[in-house]
Structure 1
Amino acid sequence: MAKITADTYIEEIVENYPQLIQPLRTYNIRCLACGDAIWGTLGEAAAQKGIKNLDEILEEMNRLLEENP
């Protein structure tokens, strides 16, 4: 199974892991399904939003993928 990292493109997450769209919204990381553009990486989006706990977000997203592939 692929692992979500800071370098994973948001477009890839939305296309391949739609179950992660809601967690993206929870962390205020927008995506096309949420109404914003989906270009760029998860790390870039987190930096733009001033998110400091990206490691925790990545852990949660990867845990969710393990539980709900």
Structure 2
Amino acid sequence: MTPERTLRVDRIACTGRGLCAELLPELIDLDEWGYPVLKESTVPGRLRGHARRAVAACPRLALHTDGG
């Protein structure tokens, strides 16, 4: 069994560009100001690659994954 991976957003570092929600709409919505809101913090196995890409693409390094 693979360890659970979770997403988190550093709200201080985030500038609300919305790229994370474009790359991972299954787990991230945007609020009315364009800042990310996590629908679910646990990343299902089928979305791990997408989550890694969203984390890597964040221009402010505000999106992180923890765990396995």
TM class by shorter chain equals 0.3 to 0.5
The structure with the greater share of residues assigned to strand is: 2
Say which structure is richer in helix: 1
Q: Which has the higher contact order (CA 8 A, sep 6+)?
A: 2
- Of structures 1 and 2, the larger Rg is shown by 2
TM-score, L = length of structure 1: 0.40
TM-score under structure 2 normalisation? 0.40
